[in-house]
Chains A and B, each alone.
Chain A
Amino acid sequence: MRAAAALLLWCAALLVPASASAADPRLVPDVSSRAIDIQYSFTGEELLLFGAILYPGQRLPDDRADIVVVLKGPVRPIILREKRRIAGIWINADSIRLRTSPGFYAIGSSRPIDQIVDERTAAIFELGLSNLSMSPTGFSEAKTLERFEGGLIDLYRRQGLFYQNPKAVEISEGVLYRARIPVPARVPVGNYRAETYLISKGRVIAVASRDVEIRKAGFERFVALAAERHGFLYGLTAVLLSVGLGYAASAVFRRR
């Protein structure tokens, strides 16, 4: 997965104009935490993506450059089902498979994406919720596909798993940028990538990225791992816990 992302970024780097040389600006990005630990009181977190734009010779360009930050979670295959009214009741009718649907995707920018880049560039760099490539499989019409993707985006936006904010990035003095990205409690665990794009005159002139790991820690990690790997022992623990608590309550109440 990480290799694929690296390859993608490398391809993206190729698309950055060939004039890329020492004369081009560089990005020095960072994130407020390299790893987010999910523990008992985790109700979500805010990740701060920040950094500096290094212009050669410390000379600021005449026209304004824009920054776009993207935080993307691991992709996984999903089946997306759509309910329809059949004989009066709402049941799952159509479904499509998406092979590379990200479990989390947040994008923040200093201006609305469509004012920063044209549609083609946005599609190439997957900037914006409508530009995510989710690799649908099987045959379906473009219109159907669009409807399903719209449904997924709407669903995930309301759950906070997809996030788009055209005012999230704040650039100070033309060289420092910062953006806050909210991470909800139901975020999937895995390796995330925080990418920063420097865009000027509709062209991406610098790309840089940082890895962020979101993982369960402590007791929560132990429980989740046990549930996954040791089903029998885990089930036995659950049974003993419930029987034990039930017995204890019974004993306590009998004494009264």
Chain B
Amino acid sequence: MDLYLPVANLSVNALVIVLLGGGVGFLSGMFGVGGGFLTTPLLMFYGIPPTVAAASAATQVTGASVSGAMAYLERDGVDLRMGTVLVVGGLIGSLIGAGLFELLTAWGQIDTVISILYVAMLGSVGTIMAREAWGALRLMKAGLPPPARKRRHHPMVANLPLRWRFYRSGLYISPLAPLLLGVGVGVLTMLLGVGGGFIMVPAMVYLLGMGTQVVVGTSLFQILFVTIATTMVHAMTTGAVDLVLAGLLLLGSVTGAQVGARFAQSVRPEYLRLLLAVIVLLVALRMAVDLFIRPDEIYTVQ
């Protein structure tokens, strides 16, 4: 079934887009990632202009994270205080990102910067996650009990001034650490159309040392509000949000997110993390290969 996208100015197969949204939504519910890191490249691969892809993916991530965040809120799996600090950082970051977006577009290097950022971020995050998950699995197979998790944050975080108590996360740290983390992820949301969960989740675990039971929920909470902000910024600056495209993606992803959140309860977290690491690495690899081989289109019109 073909449907015309009024902002992207082309027609797409509606079913393909809904299924794409569904698959991404499933992952987002399962891992607490927004799934934008898959939506944006896949839409671009389908032939949607990069700006429209990034802007509409942000809108779709909002929908996917609402149902996910609600599911976790019900289970008391969100640290609201931590989430708020992250959101404030994210808002600052999305404004910085909007400025960068304009600058890079005028310079003509936005595509390359997006690709390199994807490869660097996904590659490093994926490698860390894979190593960690693989180690945990080996211990499990050997019948050894997993080592008592060191609930300690990074020394850099410990050295920051001003300390707040984050009860749900079981932390007593400076709010500056999550604030800066929020800013960084906000910039990425604006530039790449990603929620940033794939960075947020490991950063919360390995940098801040948050308790695992609130990591995914808090990440979804942050993603929800930051993607709302970026949708607004995109609508008011680039005008690249395609409502029809976002609607199709949403139809699939909100259902997928619910299924994914339920599915996550029945699988060992070690397997989940390894699977996410593999997916992240595959996307990174694909983007890296695209940088080095001759692209299909040498010429682009702006």
Q: What residues of chain A have their CB less than 8 Å away from a CB belonging to chain B?
A: 38-44, 78-83, 85, 88-92, 95, 101, 148, 151-152, 154-155, 185-186, 188, 216, 219-221, 223-224, 227-228, 231-232, 234-239, 241-243, 245-250, 252-254
Are A43 and B2 touching (Cβ within 8 A)? yes
**Given A78-B301, A239-B62, A241-B246, A223-B6 contact (CB < 8 Å):** yes
Interface segment, one of B174-182, B275-283, B292-300: B292-300
One digit per residue, 1 when the CB lies within 8 angstroms of any chain A CB and 0 when it does not, for chain B 219-233 equals 000000000100110
Which bracket fits the contact residues of B?
Answer: 35 or more
Contact with A249, one of B109, B258, B297, B301 (Cβ below 8 angstroms): B258
The answer on a CB contact under 8 Å between B291 and A90 is yes
Q: A89-B112, A90-B294, A250-B258 are in contact. Are A238 and B64 (CB under 8 A)?
A: no
Quick one: which of B172-208 are within 8 Å of A by CB? none
> Interface of chain A, helix or strand or loop or mixed?
helix
CA distance A51 to B180 in the complex (A): 68
Q: Contact: B4 with A79, CB < 8 Å?
A: no
Q: Tell me which residues across on chain B come within 8 A of A239, comparing CB atoms.
A: 59, 62, 228, 231-232
Nearest-CB residue, chain A, relative to B7? A227
| 14 CB < 8 A contacts A-B | A41-B11, A78-B302, A81-B108, A186-B10, A220-B244, A221-B6, A227-B7, A243-B63, A245-B247, A246-B70, A246-B257, A247-B67, A249-B67, A249-B257
Q: Tell whether, in the assembled complex, residue A235 and residue B9 are in contact, meaning their CB atoms are under 8 Å apart.
A: no
A88–B231 CB distance below 8 A = no
A78 neighbours in B (Cβ, 8 Å): 301-302
A228, A231, A243, A252: the one within 8 Å of B62 (CB): A243
Q: State the Cβ distance, B20 to closest chain A Cβ, in Å.
A: 16
Contacting residues, chain A, for B242 (C-beta < 8 A): 227
Nearest chain A CB to B90 CB, angstrom units: 15
Which 5 residue pairs of A and B lie closest in terms of their CB atoms, listed nearest first?
Answer: A246-B66, A235-B235, A249-B254, A242-B63, A151-B299
